[in-house]
Amino acid sequence: MSLGEKILELRKKCGYSQEQLGELVDVTRQTISNWELNETSPNPEQLKLLSKVLKVSIDDLLNNDIQNIVVEKVSNTEKLAGMTIKAVKFLGILFLILLVIDIISFFIFMPIK
Per-position pLDDT tens, the chain of length 113? 889 999 999 999 999 999 999 999 999 999 999 999 999 999 999 999 999 999 999 988 887 766 677 778 888 899 999 999 999 999 999 999 999 999 999 888 877 76
Same domain, 89 and 50: no
CATH assignment of the domain containing 13 = 1.10.260.40
Which residues span the domain enclosing 22? 3-61
pLDDT of residue 65: 60
Same domain, 55 and 75: no
Within 54-65, residue ranges assigned H as helices are 58-61
Q: How many domains does the chain have?
A: 2
Same domain, 70 and 47: no
pLDDT of residue 67: 65
**Residues 14 and 54: beta-carbon distance below 8 Å:** yes
Longest Cα–Cα distance in the chain: 104
pTM (2 d.p.): 0.57
Same domain, 8 and 23: yes
- Cα 17 to chain center, whole Å? 33
Q: Which residues fall within 8 angstroms of residue 7, CB to CB, at 6 or more apart?
A: 32, 35, 36, 50, 54, 61
pLDDT of residue 22: 96
